[in-house]
Chain A
Amino acid sequence: MKRRISIVYQGLRPVILAALLLGSVSCGEDFLSVKPQGVINANNFFQTSDHAVWSVNAIYNQLRNWDFTSFPSLAMTDIISDDATKGSFPADAERIIAFDDFTFDARFPEEVRLSWRGYYHGIFRANIAIDGIPRVPEINEPLRQRLLGEAKFLRGYLYFNLVRWFGDVPLITQPLTQDEFYSRTRTPAAEVYQQIVKDLQEAIAALPEKSKYSPADLGRATKGAARGMLAKVYLTMKDYPNAEKYALEVINSKEYNLLADYGKIFLPEGENSSESVFEIQATALEASYAGATPWNMVQGVRGSPNLGWGFNLPSDDLIRAFEPGDPRRDATILYVGEILPDGSAVVEDNPSMDNERYNQKAWTPAHPGLQDNGPSNIRVLRYADVLLIAAEALNENGKPQEALVQLNAVRKRARGTRTTVLPDVTTTDKTALRERIWRERRVELAMEQQRWFDLVRTGQAATRMKALGKNFIVGKHELFPIPQTEIDLSNGLITQNPMY
């Protein structure tokens, strides 16, 4: 027995020795420690001031995303409202009709979910920046504060749209960890608004005025943008004293002026004009489409000469809303037979289109690349908007005379050289003046993705929609449905809006 064991052992011994020998040459940790190639990873991000700048630029980048600049955003702002219809020919993107006739639900069409997702992706990038920038070891301190201010402005703006669309939404202000992925619930809208106010106030404190930025930074969020946005937030919250305060701060900063010619605001030369408070910056580059948006293409003339898709068409109701002779009508609507603003061609009739006319504010002259290389900046907040916010707040605060100053400034500019149209408003009756301001907002800001928010904010949505024979249900359609996928993934912790 002993002998056999020893034979086995003798057999085994070289094997064991060999194994030990081979084991001793193990390369171990060094061999197995590899780094991702050509990319920075989470462990070495936010090490330099460049990293901080990049992380904030990445938030702006998201604003040009499809979810922000095409069907999802247009369907949930203009098309659903009384300003516009789906557009194109009937069978094209037929599902978008759901926004015209109020048959959208938690699943269809997917545009509701795309907006939700796109906005939360933007919020994620803002949270990454706000979380990481304070950790950057060496950075010029004013730059650190400015970047944080920009990120907070953008986060506030994103939540502002989300809360207006969906009501209570999960309020997430830092990147979530794994155990939090499924545990969030919808935060009451009032708390979301508090966070928006906080973000925007911190942005106001941190951001420089437009004129204090270096030219290369043109287009970044400014103190004025944060103030103007906050004024609009307060207006939506019906906190009129604060709305007045922040709108007047913008006005009194003397940073902005109305552009003399309304029609020029939306042309390339009107980008970042004196009237611009905040714009989503875009450009058509020659080599890649990395600076573009689909915004021009989706709304462009369908057929000759612009080769766009022809969605989001101005409605008959919008046309009727303009006062006789209001030059803004022709600056807003591009008709068949009309000469293009740059004089290059005439819009030709496309027989497959119903009610053919286009959103002139999304028109753009020839540019490098194809139609999806859309170069237009998207005007998010104009000085005229701020003046009308001021007017509305002042009226609500019992200062009709001061309100009229702001309102008539907007009308005067719209009137231009035509002295016979758009006379100054003179009424000081609070209700009548409120009506006039709301009407002014509609035509001044038509087709600029403001109308639906104004209809819901002012409680006019139900009456306006019903007047147009639409299937608007009070208590339901003021808010969009929470995407069903979100409810499913949260195992029901995320609840649905009423009646969906």
Chain B
Amino acid sequence: MNRIPTFRWLILLLVSWLGFASAWAQVTVTGKVVDANAETLIGVNVLVKNSTSGTITDMDGSFTLEVPDAYATLVFSYIGYTSQEIPLGGRTNLEVILREESQLLNEVVVVGYGTQRKSDLTGSVGSVKSEELQKIAAANVTQALQGKIAGVQVTSASGRPGEGPVVRIRGTGTLNGASPIYVVDGLILDNIDFLNAADIESMEVLKDASAAAIYGTRGANGVVLITTRKGSRGQRARFNFSSYAGVQQVDRTLALTNGTEYAQLVNEIATNNNGRPPFADPTIFGAGTNWQDVIFRDAMMQSYNLNVSGGSEAMTYSISGDAFLQDGIIRSSYFNRYSLRINNEYNLIKGLKFGHNVAFVNSNNNNEPGGIVFNAYAADPTAPAVDDQGKFGNTSANSNVSNPAAQLEYNAYNRGYGQQLTGNAYAEVYPLKDFTFRSSMGFNLFNNRSKSFEPQFFVNDKQQNPESRLFVGYNRANDWQWENTVNFQRDFGKQRINLLAGYTLQSRGGESFGGSRNRLIGDTEDFYYLNAGDAQTATNYSIGFTPERYESFLFRANYALRDKYLLTVSLRRDGSSKFGSERRYGTFPSVAVAWRAIEEPFLKNQDLITNLKIRASWGRLGNDKIPSSAAVPTVTNNLSAVFGPDEALVFGASLITLANPFLQWEETTSTNLGVDLGFLDNRLTLELDYYQRQTKQILVPVPIPDYVGSSGNPYVNAADVLNRGIDFQLNYQGKIGKLGYSIGALGSTVYNEVQSLGTTNNALRDVSINGEFATLTNVGQAIGSFYGYQVAGIYQNAEDIANHPNASPVKPGDLRFADINNDGIINTQDRTFLGSPIPKLIYGFNLGVDIAGFDFSADFNGVSGNKILNAKKMFRGFGIPNFESSFLDRWTGAGSSTTEPRITNGGYPNFVVSDHFLEDGSFLRLRSMQIGYTLPKATTQRLGISNLRVYVSGNNLFTWTDYSGYTPEVASENVLQVGVDRGIYPIARTLLAGINLSF
């Protein structure tokens, strides 16, 4: 009974003492905190010793503090740095240098609409620094995230130069667009294809709701924040030059049947069908043509980057120019990008800052001829690339695909040109103490141009073009984003509070136009303009994209008590033009707490554990990645009819698809429990998170029966999906004598399950191959699971057929399917789940060693537990495409094979969807390996060079996998079509040499 009064008394005492202390404050001390390299330190704790009053340093490393008297002692502490006590000794201005204790936790991380000390984080945020990003030589920086952050899966969709990968954060949370958003210096974008790795300071991935909920209806798939490089105040001009050059080659080619083998198999098919074998003597063909050799090449890749940065008291600047030049490993393909970036900030008058981050990017590329990878796989190997008379061989006759060599001659002009201006201009005002008002106008403008030309040619009756033809297309986008935020930050001794409120508007729109003409007056590039073609053959189009608009209100509060107890609350209210007026706005809250137990007394008197933080968060996020017109059905034009004696084309138009006006965004409820641990001066660190993401009302373009008659599938808020798993990231840094080394491992498990498919409860089928759907998304299974027959063996003879249940016509040598429902017949009811394309585990590990100026690093990444459907092997269609060598092990008579069926050219049962075509997609890859040498400072400084490093490096050097295709990375943006290999542009192995130079 008397505990309550005691407690009250204590509080009263505490509060009055605090009030007393702050009332007493008289002397103002200012100063700046920097590290050993004179870089400013942000968020350093500055405390008056033996008191609770203090502050943290701001973005410039400066602090202002009221102290009781000019002879007090200040304590400077910063996670990852050795704390320092400095007696003022009457001074009121200080410059303090803090030394690093360990590099690992020395981090300020960027969070949505601001920055935070990593130690203050309550959510789950993964961070990658510039040096790591630059280890991967690729046009697209997201490639470099592979194997770097637990919970982030990066899968290359294709090795085409310039192409971006598919990114999934903590599983696949939706059946719809499941990619994260990218926020570059505050600007929300769908991709960062235009960014150069060398221009990036850091990338942060917001994984849980506490971190991402501030992005509301855009945040459910995670958020990737990118901060580009900026100058520092008071830093002299520093030049940085980096460059690499290297060669790429196809990792491996596939084993296909050669000329003789193909001819034998084709003859055997004819014989099996009681037909006439077309090849009299298969042996005359010998090895024939390996079409893969025709299309692949060793290709160059180069990158150059020059940056100058620095600053005075009045301004900071960072200016860089980049050139990235990549030839593709398939002949004729390339991607070149040139960019200029200017990130400046100006302190015009006291209390007002103005700045801009602007990139101008110019790119051009050429795509390989359409379908050439599959054609090289399927083309008849008995046909020559070019015959004795110099004519292209006929691959249409038997295999019914185009001759890839002729495609490279005639279909290789597929140019794209891009110009992009992306960035923002902002102003920050500090009208009151502790307040920052910021208004930022972001923009993303781009103009794309495409041209493709096909000359008149004749290879054979199926591969020909009787008239030359030119297509041109122009594409313009005009996106803007206006953000207004007010930030309040104040320390009350043991308490720190940071409040943020904001209002933002965003708009996206654009249009495209283009046309074509035939019969050009010349075949060379200088004629590739429409006016050089016959006006009678002209076509044209102009299309306006439905604008997408967003209006948002946002709010966030961060509260810290004694640096021990941390609380974050955020709220965003979003309106989106994609939805009907009754369902336009949604509210997305989150709350998170963290406890830095390392600050507790019971952990003070030991030095084994040097960091311990426990985090928990909950929040709700949205996803609206559907076409902007999905809620309103539009009328399709140009469904014209022919009438009248002159056979005139008469305009027609109608609704041919259905839409759903009742659409809403999807809602993801995300929960995260995490612990951060550091041992031995944080040389050993562990981050461990348990996450659960539950998405409801998933928007699905539901496959509907054909009898409905709609040409497209309408979107419905139909499904619920669960993702849960564990992310871990473990790092150790050590030193043996002069040898420094680091070892890291990270991993993420994904359990993905569809929990509901709404009231209709219709399983979603996708990937139609040979008359059946290969994936089925159903309750209790992972999204896009493979579905089909299970092979139980091969019918060895007629008796075998008689003794087993079977479906209509099977012959000895055909695949025998398992009677899953044991009803004595094999029919469609016997199809079953065959596996999931989503890996159960995504992992990476890396090691680094440095000694005497040499450094070595190796990064591995891998996935396990997923399946790949080798769909290219199933495609038989018209003609008889070439075969993978595995077909040679075919059944040829009783007992000859129990795994490979007799040779047929499509049809039931050997080519329907079954686990015969399903392969293990697990792999482990040596993603990058690098050996570098930094010249001794003593040598370089004499030359006026502050740093000079040269290195050799390799990307994708080895891949360990059982998958038989070019690469086990088989991605799709469409989550119902993942892991289906139809013949993708292979990912290259790259060998490089590079240099980094600063002066």
Q: Which residues of A contact B (CB under 8 A)?
A: 1, 3-4, 7-8, 11-12, 14-16, 18-19, 22-23, 25-29, 31-43, 45, 51, 54-62, 64, 89-95, 97-98, 103, 105-110, 113, 116-117, 120-125, 127-129, 169-170, 172, 175-176, 178-179, 181-182, 184, 215-220, 272, 281-283, 285-288, 290-291, 302-303, 307, 352, 354, 370, 375, 483-491, 494, 500
Measured between beta carbons, the chain B residues less than 8 angstroms from A37 are 509, 511, 543-547
Q: B629 near A: Cβ within 8 Å?
A: yes
Measured between beta carbons, the chain B residues less than 8 angstroms from A25 are 503
List which B633-651 residues lie within 8 A (CB) of chain A: 633-645, 647-651
Q: B641 and A57: CB pair below 8 A? A: yes
Q: A38 and B543: CB pair below 8 A? A: yes
Q: A36 and B632: CB pair below 8 A? A: yes
Nearest-neighbour CB distance to chain B for A122, whole angstroms, equals 8
Nearest-neighbour CB distance to chain B for A332, whole angstroms, equals 24
Measured between beta carbons, the chain B residues less than 8 angstroms from A19 are 486, 501, 503, 553, 555
Q: B276 and A127: CB pair below 8 A? A: no
Q: A34 and B547: CB pair below 8 A? A: yes
In-complex Cβ contact of A485 among B636, B648, B702, B773 (8 A): B773
Known: A15-B499, A31-B505, A281-B642. 14 other contacts (CB 8 A): A34-B549, A39-B635, A42-B635, A58-B641, A59-B654, A105-B808, A123-B709, A124-B710, A178-B714, A288-B539, A291-B649, A307-B464, A354-B276, A484-B828
A62 to B659, CA, bound (A): 20
Measured between beta carbons, the chain A residues less than 8 angstroms from B650 are 57
Residue of B with least CB distance to A117: B706
Q: A178 and B660: CB pair below 8 A? A: yes
Residue of B with least CB distance to A186: B707
Q: A485 and B581: CB pair below 8 A? A: no
In-complex Cβ contact of B639 among A32, A61, A89, A217 (8 A): A61
A51 to B651, CA, bound (A): 10
Shortest 5 CB-CB distances between A and B: which pairs?
A124-B709, A37-B544, A107-B771, A57-B652, A22-B503
Q: A39 and B634: CB pair below 8 A? A: yes
Measured between beta carbons, the chain B residues less than 8 angstroms from A129 are 654
Q: B18 near A: Cβ within 8 Å?
A: yes
Contact with A along B743-781 (1 / 0, CB 8 A): 000000000000000001011010010111100000000
Q: B705 and A219: CB pair below 8 A? A: no
Q: B878 and A487: CB pair below 8 A? A: no
Nearest-neighbour CB distance to chain B for A183, whole angstroms, equals 9
In-complex Cβ contact of A272 among B461, B645, B649, B773 (8 A): B645
Q: B908 near A: Cβ within 8 Å?
A: yes
Q: A45 and B635: CB pair below 8 A? A: yes
Residue of A with least CB distance to B808: A105
Q: Given that A18-B501, A290-B649 are contacting pairs, would A120 and B709 also be in contact in the complex, using a CB cutoff of 8 Å?
A: yes
Q: B773 and A488: CB pair below 8 A? A: yes
A181 to B656, CA, bound (A): 15
Q: A121 and B634: CB pair below 8 A? A: no
Nearest-neighbour CB distance to chain B for A383, whole angstroms, equals 19
Measured between beta carbons, the chain B residues less than 8 angstroms from A16 are 501
CB pairs A–B below 8 angstroms (12 shown): A11-B499, A35-B546, A37-B543, A37-B547, A41-B629, A57-B641, A58-B652, A90-B278, A91-B880, A113-B771, A170-B705, A485-B771
In-complex Cβ contact of B278 among A36, A38, A91 (8 A): A91
A32 to B547, CA, bound (A): 9
Q: B536 near A: Cβ within 8 Å?
A: yes
Q: B90 near A: Cβ within 8 Å?
A: no
Q: A218 and B705: CB pair below 8 A? A: no
List which B539-562 residues lie within 8 A (CB) of chain A: 539, 542-551, 553, 555
Q: B15 near A: Cβ within 8 Å?
A: yes
Q: B647 and A121: CB pair below 8 A? A: no
Of the candidates B266, B660, B705, the one having the most CB atoms from chain A within 10 angstroms of its own CB is: B705
Q: B486 and A40: CB pair below 8 A? A: no
Q: A22 and B502: CB pair below 8 A? A: yes
Q: B544 and A38: CB pair below 8 A? A: yes
Measured between beta carbons, the chain B residues less than 8 angstroms from A32 are 549-551, 575-577, 581, 584
Of the candidates B497, B638, B654, B711, the one having the most CB atoms from chain A within 10 angstroms of its own CB is: B654
In-complex Cβ contact of A91 among B398, B434, B584 (8 A): B398
Measured between beta carbons, the chain A residues less than 8 angstroms from B610 are none
Measured between beta carbons, the chain A residues less than 8 angstroms from B550 are 32
Measured between beta carbons, the chain B residues less than 8 angstroms from A42 are 632-635, 655, 659
A195 to B542, CA, bound (A): 42
Nearest-neighbour CB distance to chain B for A151, whole angstroms, equals 11
Q: A220 and B643: CB pair below 8 A? A: yes
Q: Given that A4-B492, A57-B650, A91-B879 are contacting pairs, would A41 and B553 also be in contact in the complex, using a CB cutoff of 8 Å?
A: no
Of the candidates A98, A107, A117, A491, the one having the most CB atoms from chain B within 10 angstroms of its own CB is: A107
Q: B771 and A175: CB pair below 8 A? A: no
A303 to B809, CA, bound (A): 36
Q: A181 and B654: CB pair below 8 A? A: no
Of the candidates B511, B650, B655, the one having the most CB atoms from chain A within 10 angstroms of its own CB is: B655
Q: B792 near A: Cβ within 8 Å?
A: no
A23 to B553, CA, bound (A): 7
Measured between beta carbons, the chain B residues less than 8 angstroms from A110 are 770-771
Q: B908 and A108: CB pair below 8 A? A: yes
Measured between beta carbons, the chain A residues less than 8 angstroms from B490 are 7, 11
Measured between beta carbons, the chain B residues less than 8 angstroms from A61 are 639-641, 652
Nearest-neighbour CB distance to chain A for B73, whole angstroms, equals 26
Q: B654 and A55: CB pair below 8 A? A: yes
Nearest-neighbour CB distance to chain B for A180, whole angstroms, equals 8
Q: B907 and A489: CB pair below 8 A? A: no
Q: A291 and B546: CB pair below 8 A? A: no
Q: Given that A58-B652, A483-B706, A490-B705 are contacting pairs, would A14 and B488 also be in contact in the complex, using a CB cutoff of 8 Å?
A: yes
Q: Given that A11-B490, A90-B276, A92-B400 are contacting pairs, would A33 and B581 also be in contact in the complex, using a CB cutoff of 8 Å?
A: yes
Q: A178 and B879: CB pair below 8 A? A: no
Measured between beta carbons, the chain A residues less than 8 angstroms from B5 are none
Q: B11 near A: Cβ within 8 Å?
A: yes
Nearest-neighbour CB distance to chain A for B647, whole angstroms, equals 4
A23 to B702, CA, bound (A): 38
Q: A128 and B654: CB pair below 8 A? A: yes
A469 to B705, CA, bound (A): 36
Measured between beta carbons, the chain B residues less than 8 angstroms from A127 are 709
Q: A18 and B486: CB pair below 8 A? A: yes
List which B865-885 residues lie within 8 A (CB) of chain A: 876-880
Measured between beta carbons, the chain A residues less than 8 angstroms from B266 are 91
Q: B538 and A287: CB pair below 8 A? A: yes
Of the candidates B629, B647, B649, B878, the one having the most CB atoms from chain A within 10 angstroms of its own CB is: B647
Q: A290 and B770: CB pair below 8 A? A: no
Q: B598 near A: Cβ within 8 Å?
A: no
Measured between beta carbons, the chain A residues less than 8 angstroms from B640 are 57, 61, 290-291
Q: B990 near A: Cβ within 8 Å?
A: no
Q: B19 near A: Cβ within 8 Å?
A: yes
Contact with A along B256-277 (1 / 0, CB 8 A): 0000000000100010010110
List which B699-748 residues lie within 8 A (CB) of chain A: 702-711, 714, 716
Q: A43 and B397: CB pair below 8 A? A: no
Q: B466 near A: Cβ within 8 Å?
A: yes
Q: B546 and A34: CB pair below 8 A? A: yes
Q: B912 near A: Cβ within 8 Å?
A: yes
Q: A184 and B710: CB pair below 8 A? A: no
Nearest-neighbour CB distance to chain B for A42, whole angstroms, equals 4
Q: Given that A90-B276, A120-B708 are contacting pairs, would A54 and B908 also be in contact in the complex, using a CB cutoff of 8 Å?
A: no
In-complex Cβ contact of A54 among B486, B652, B772, B809 (8 A): B652
Measured between beta carbons, the chain A residues less than 8 angstroms from B638 are 290
A217 to B641, CA, bound (A): 11
A323 to B960, CA, bound (A): 71
List which B888-914 residues lie within 8 A (CB) of chain A: 905-908, 912
Q: Given that A54-B654, A218-B644 are contacting pairs, would A26 and B706 also be in contact in the complex, using a CB cutoff of 8 Å?
A: no
Q: Given that A172-B709, A178-B714 are contacting pairs, would A18 and B270 also be in contact in the complex, using a CB cutoff of 8 Å?
A: no
Q: B501 and A182: CB pair below 8 A? A: no
Q: B649 and A120: CB pair below 8 A? A: no
Measured between beta carbons, the chain B residues less than 8 angstroms from A178 are 658, 660, 714, 716
